[in-house]
Copies of this chain bind each other. A is one copy, B any other.
Amino acid sequence: MKVYTITVNPSLDYVVSLDLLHLGEVNRAQEAKLFAGGKGINVSQVLTQLDVDNCALGFIGGSTGQELLQQLNQKKIKSDFTTIIEKTRINVKVKANQETELNASGPKISMQEQHTFKTKLTQLTPDDIVVMSGSLAKGLPDDFYFQLIDLVNEQGSQFVLDTSGQSLLDCLAKKPLMVKPNHHELADIFNTTLTTQAEIIAHGQKLQKMGAQNVIVSMAGEGAYLITEDAVYYAKPLAGEVINSVGAGDSMVAGFVGTYSQTQDTVAAFKMGVACGSATAFTEDIATEPQINQQLKRVEIIEI
């Protein structure tokens, strides 16, 4: 099985560090660096660390797109992006006394460019898994992910759409390989509050019955559940200092999908998902293979 990740609106992240950001003034940065950013790209980065056959798809354009591609190449992340005329956006992240972000909306993607991209998906096989995550770029139709899901399903491939709220509910009928709301998102979906383990599991099972093959409910410092058609599993939380929650969700998706693609073992996939999510949360950047394997040894799964 091969995994494809889709990042429709990737970014170059320009991380600028200084002591204090003064509004209305000229500030001098101590350090400034460009990084490739995007949720699907994070997933591909972790998959590459785990040595899972994968390919990053999406749209890139202009000199910023070329820079992004170069950064992926440096990290040995395989990709097959569709080139667009407008430039890949730059998001500015200011690391000062407070962390301030300035996100651009991203390039327009023409009908022709969308068509070129979709054509790639017609080459998928039933052995493939497609992971979609991140915001839609400007000018893409609201139902773009759903158009892609239909294409993926037509080829008999599996898909994961990393989203929440109504979009998550809407995709259930398309039989996603996995959905992964946290317990707050799960409560919001059903417009309720969830306090007990029994309540959380019951509502996770609702998502499963509505079409999700697997439901992971993460609860940050309180572990996570995996709900399958047949069983419920619980992963104990891993002790550690959370340094960075950005990319932890993407890492969990990568861990699950990566191991699933190699073993078709849902519980092993869940275990790797928990290890990857925790490993990234415990480091400043997306976790590396040694960091992931260190956490993997610590994950305990029990059937409930």
A interface list, Cβ under 8 A from B: 14, 16, 18, 21-29, 32, 34, 62-64, 66-67, 70, 87, 89-90, 92, 94, 98-105
Contact = CB atoms under 8 A, between A and B. Distances in A.
A29 B100 contact: no
- In this complex, the member of A24, A34, A62, A98 whose beta carbon has the largest number of chain B beta carbons within 10 angstroms is A24
A100 to B, nearest CB: 5
A104 B29 contact: yes
B22 A100 contact: yes
A121 B98 CA distance: 46
16 contacts: A14-B14, A21-B100, A21-B102, A23-B100, A24-B99, A26-B103, A27-B100, A28-B105, A29-B102, A29-B103, A34-B64, A63-B63, A63-B66, A63-B70, A64-B67, A66-B66
A236 to B, nearest CB: 32
Contact of A32 (B63, B66, B89): B89
A25 B89 contact: no
Contacts of A27: 100-103
A92 B16 contact: yes
A25 B100 contact: yes
A99 B27 CA distance: 11
A141 to B, nearest CB: 20
Contact of A98 (B16, B23, B98, B104): B23
Nearest to A71: B63
Contacts of A87: 34
Nearest to A25: B100
B100 A24 contact: yes
A66 B62 CA distance: 10
A23 B99 CA distance: 7
Nearest to A101: B26
